[in-house]
Amino acid sequence: MRKKKWIKRLAATVLILLVLLVLASNIVVDLALVPEKMEQTQAFEDITEDSYEALVKTDDIEQNKMASLEKTEKWVRSADSEEVSVTTEDGYRLLGRAFYQEGESHDWVLLLHGYTGWKEEMYPIAFEYAERGYQVLVPDMRCSGESEGDFIGMGWTDRKDNLLWLQTILKKDKNARIVIHGQSMGGACALMMTGEDLPDNVKAVVSDSAYTDAYSIFKKQLKDWFHLPGFPLVDGADLMLQIRGGYSLKKASALDAVKKSTIPLLIIHGEEDVFVPVEMAYTLYDAADCEKELLIVEGAGHAQAPDKAPQEYYKTVFSFLETHGMTAFG
């Protein structure tokens, strides 16, 4: 009799713990991957504040950033541009903006923003490409900016969405030579895309501040942002995400993609990045089995390389692209 009571109590305890784990895992998914819930609970503001606090703050970074924004704002006001859109396989409408240059340039760049970001954050980089004659397409990825969506894709669902943007470019210019350039989550997404069957028009990928895989970075940020243990919450969140969002953090791997990629790859990272550790850049670079280059920018935090060392950054980018048959003038 005592043994039966003990078994019942144990089963009840296990059941309660499982229910609590499911509830906690769903909360983690909501607070990190569902923008509507993030805004309701102030998680979005907290993440934004924590991310800002983690950046390197020096006079040269601030001055370079302000100078870049001033040039960019002037360019955006006068640029020849239009709103463009695509509809995903699961029915979401995604919006972007295309910037066109005078002349017959067939060089294009697809620019991908980071986690909880939006297309306008990529406009300073768009300006640099436009100055060198590139046609530019900058989308809001799902759940971001003006685009629809349910769950932030951590680059994984976005990799499929962004194939639609490549088709948009090719409909406008069948002879397009395309570089995919992403920052942070966008950089990881660009790498994840290399694991897909991309059109031959994609000539190179530039990945700035990318993580190796969504599971690892999710585990790290769960501790940094919410002061919660990675296990078992990340595994529970991963299961809930598969059920609710249709994808797995463990499968969202830039590392796996670059191992089989043949597209020339430039990996850039700030040495002082505490959001995505610089070690991830070395891991990605070492794993890539293709033509590749690596730029580590001293004194730069997360996605700050263009502001810390703009001349070195853009010289490296456009020299790399020139090596692989794209425009480098300007």
**CA 302/CA 95 separation, integer angstroms:** 26
Evaluate whether residue 219 is within a structural domain.
no
* pLDDT tens per residue, range 229-242: 777 889 999 999 99
| CA 321 – CA 264 distance, rounded (Å) | 9
- Domain membership of residue 125 (yes or no) is yes
Burial class of residue 63, CB neighbours in 10 A (0-12, 13-18, 19+) = exposed
- Write the single-letter amino acid at 230: G
In the block, residue with structure tokens 């002061």: 227
* Tens-place pLDDT, residues 107-118: 999 999 999 999
29 in any annotated domain: no
The per-residue pLDDT for 330 is 44
d(C-alpha 136, C-alpha 122), whole Å: 11
Indicate which CATH number applies to the domain containing 97: 3.40.50.1820
Structural tokens at position 187? 């950089």
Please give the pLDDT value at position 44: 65
In a domain, 272, yes or no: yes
**Spatial separation of the C-alpha atoms in residues 282 and 210, rounded to whole Å:** 11
Query: Would you state the structure tokens that stand for residue 105, as one six-digit string?
Result: 């340039």
Task: Give this prediction's pTM.
Answer: 0.94
- Whole-angstrom Cα distance, residue 136 to residue 98? 6
Q: What residue ranges of the chain have pLDDT lower than 50?
A: 330
328 lies in some domain = no
- Residue 135's DSSP bridge partners are 108
The DSSP code sequence of 214-265 is HHHHHHHHHHHHH---STTHHHHHHHHHHHHHS--TTT-BHHHHHHT--S-E
Residue 329: predicted pLDDT: 52
In order of 2, 163, 233, 276, 316, the CA distances from 33 in angstroms are: 46, 22, 14, 17, 34
Q: Residue 253 and residue 257: Cα distance in Å, rounded?
A: 7
**3-class secondary structure, 315:** helix
**Of the candidates 67, 33, 47, 44, the residue with the CA atom closest to the CA atom of residue 302:** 47
Question: Which pLDDT score, from 0 to 100, does residue 68 have?
Answer: 98
What pLDDT shows up at residue 88?
A: 97
Each residue's pLDDT tens digit, 82-102:
999 999 999 999 999 999 998
pLDDT at position 328 is 52
Domain of 155? 58-213+252-323
Number of domains the chain is built from? 1
Answer whether residue 230 is part of any domain. no
